[in-house]
Amino acid sequence: MLTRRKFLKLCVQTTVAASLSQLLLPDLARALRLLPGGKPAVLWIEGTSCTGNTVSLDNSADPALREVLEEIIDLRYSQLLMWPQNNEAVQILYDTREKQRDNFILVVEGGIPLGMPEAVIIGANDGLPLYATEVIPWLAEAARAVVAVGNCAAFGGPAKTIPNPTGTKGVWEVVTSKPVINVPGCPAHPDWMVGTLVHLLLYGLPETDEFRRPRLFFSKLVHDLCPRRFAFFDGKFAQAPGGEGCLLKVGCKGPITHADCPTRKFNDGVNWCINAGNPCIGCAAPDFPDGGTAPFFARLGDVHLPAGIRSTAVSVTKAVGAATALGIGGHLAAGFARRRLGKNRLAPVSAPQETSGGKDAQDHD
């Protein structure tokens, strides 16, 4: 029996040794077989996206994507993966909406281009285009729940970057008829997607934070889980991406980004951004990238460094940044609390100065 307690434990305990899907598969297949009506259907609709989240799901090696689709979800519609076309494909949407009302799960990958509906055409019905702007709310109204995967679907993400010619919005800004769960990331981790779907199927809506992200995966700051945190405390900072030490000074947004990447890692535990020497770009943050995580290689401003060292101001997010900053450990939170984060982004600083020995000896106030 896969109890919720056991499921939550597996989610948190997942390590590089095994993906969540791998750990869940045997129990899950049994549990899903016992559900009345079997596995609920899933419709996966693309909005303004690069389809990177589908590719991320495909990067799950054990179980492979085929097993996820066959054992965990009953994926009926995906513009990227399905072979039916035109009327035959669209019929699946109509059938599922009618026959599985309040039982199917709608997954949306990508934002909703409200200002330019013709930017995303889901398919064609008798030669007439079906726009994502119309199809997504129409399906959502009949769905059991809506899951927005990837930062574009959750918060607009890269598709919403200034000047946002398509008028893209996150799904939860448009869909109000049903609960929307945000699973951000650029792309989202396969475990985050599968784990959220499994929770929905077996136990109902997962507990979420104020940005509707499942707390299971997004309750802790990258910074608090980061293995380079020891270097942060020691004041050892990399002077360029790829360097040794904490990556704060080359733009790391770990201190304002909630996600469990450091313990979960990507590509079945092969690696993750910071371990590869690249600063966290904050891709799971609600205002990624325009609102405070870009420029990616400009360092966060107004951040207290250890031993009273202060970083020079740079693009800290506005309201969202203030909210996420509250979750930063005490040594950082104190710095944020003393200063009001401005409504507008602060000017970026120039690239970090080279220092001898990697110590941040020149940044004392």
- The verdict on 280 binding ligand SF4 (CB under 6 A) reads yes
Question: For ligand SF4, which is the closer residue by CB, 152 or 314?
Answer: 314
Instruction: Find the shortest distance in angstroms from Cβ 253 to ligand SF4.
Output: 8
- The verdict on 299 binding ligand SF4 (CB under 6 A) reads no
Give residues 238-277 in contact with ligand SF4 (rule: CB under 6 A).
246-248, 252, 254-255, 274
Instruction: Find the shortest distance in angstroms from Cβ 223 to ligand SF4.
Output: 4
Q: Look at residues 45, 23, 54 and name the one whose alpha carbon lies nearest to residue 112.
A: 45
Question: Which of 172, 218, 232, 297 forms a contact with ligand SF4 (CB under 6 A)?
Answer: 232
Instruction: Find the shortest distance in angstroms from Cβ 293 to ligand SF4.
Output: 12
Q: CA-to-CA distance for 244 and 246, rounded, in angstroms?
A: 7
Q: CA-to-CA distance for 70 and 361, rounded, in angstroms?
A: 56
Question: For ligand SF4, which is the closer residue by CB, 125 or 355?
Answer: 355
Question: For ligand SF4, which is the closer residue by CB, 200 or 252?
Answer: 252
Instruction: Find the shortest distance in angstroms from Cβ 255 to ligand SF4.
Output: 5
- 95: which 2 tokens? 């059938």
Q: CA-to-CA distance for 43 and 48, rounded, in angstroms?
A: 16
Q: CA-to-CA distance for 309 and 43, rounded, in angstroms?
A: 51
Instruction: Find the shortest distance in angstroms from Cβ 85 to ligand SF4.
Output: 45
Question: For ligand SF4, which is the closer residue by CB, 147 or 274?
Answer: 274
Strand runs labelled E in the chain: 41-46, 74-78, 105-109, 112-113, 121-125, 128-131, 145-149, 168-169, 180-183
- Segment contacting ligand SF4 (CB under 6 A): 134-142, 187-195, 196-204, 228-236? 228-236
Binding mask 57-76 for ligand SF4 (x = CB under 6 A): --------------------
Instruction: Find the shortest distance in angstroms from Cβ 298 to ligand SF4.
Output: 13
Question: For ligand SF4, which is the closer residue by CB, 176 or 353?
Answer: 353
Binding mask 168-207 for ligand SF4 (x = CB under 6 A): ----------------------------------------
Single-letter residue type at 150? G
User: In degrees rounded to 5, what are phi and psi of residue 206?
Assistant: -75, 160
> Which residue shows structure tokens 């690239």?
351
Q: CA-to-CA distance for 132 and 266, rounded, in angstroms?
A: 30
Give residues 208-227 in contact with ligand SF4 (rule: CB under 6 A).
222-223, 226
Instruction: Find the shortest distance in angstroms from Cβ 302 to ligand SF4.
Output: 14
Q: CA-to-CA distance for 105 and 242, rounded, in angstroms?
A: 41
User: In degrees rounded to 5, what are phi and psi of residue 266?
Assistant: -115, 170
- 47: which 2 tokens? 């909005």
Give the DSSP per-residue string, 57-119.
HHT--SS-HHHIIIII-EEEEETTT----HHHHHHHHHHHHHHTTTTSEEEEESBEETT-GGG
Question: For ligand SF4, which is the closer residue by CB, 53 or 311?
Answer: 311
Give contact residues for ligand SF4 (rule: CB under 6 A). 222-223, 226, 228-229, 232, 246-248, 252, 254-255, 274, 280
